[in-house]
Amino acid sequence: MVLTREEMDRKVDEHFGFEARDDVEGVLSTLDPDVVHDIVGWPAGPTYGRENARPFYEALFADLEEGKVTCTRRLYGDGFLIDESVWEGKAPGRPFGVEGKGRPLRFRLLHVIEFTKEGQIHRENVWVDLAAIIRQLPQD
């Protein structure tokens, strides 16, 4: 069974919706139990399994708030999509190791997401525009 574009969009939009609401349980529910979760540059490296992705989301939701993700482009393949987006919000914590001090923040994201035939996210690779984060959150 091959997922349609609409089915992939629905799952990714659901995933991003849970992220926007800082809903760790909701985000995890969109992931396959055997997910490969790889936030490129994250100090812990890739994780394997739904529960092992939890610490990333707990840290992310503590470090960023009032986040909104706007998709600028999606490309589709057989069982995967590539999503180019922009994140906007505030940084009260230390997003990606950079002191936020509650300042506004805007940066690009690139997701490569592979799905199971049942429609769960089986692999999530995310690239974050760290240069933009550092430029907007200069350290004193």
Q: Give the sheet arrangement for strand 65-77, strand by strand.
A: 47-48, 31-39, 121-128, 103-115, 80-91, 65-77
pLDDT at 127: 97
pLDDT at 32: 97
Indicate the Cα dihedral angle 58, 12, 77, 70, nearest 10°: -90
* Chain centre distance of CA 107: 12
Three-class secondary structure of residue 48 per DSSP: strand
- Spans of the chain, pLDDT less than 50: none
pLDDT at 1: 65
pLDDT at 2: 83
pLDDT at 43: 83
Distance CA 72, CA 106 (A): 14
Distance CA 85, CA 89 (A): 13
Could you tell me the domains of the chain?
Answer: 5-136 (3.10.450.50)
Run of H or E including 17: helix 5-20
pLDDT at 76: 97
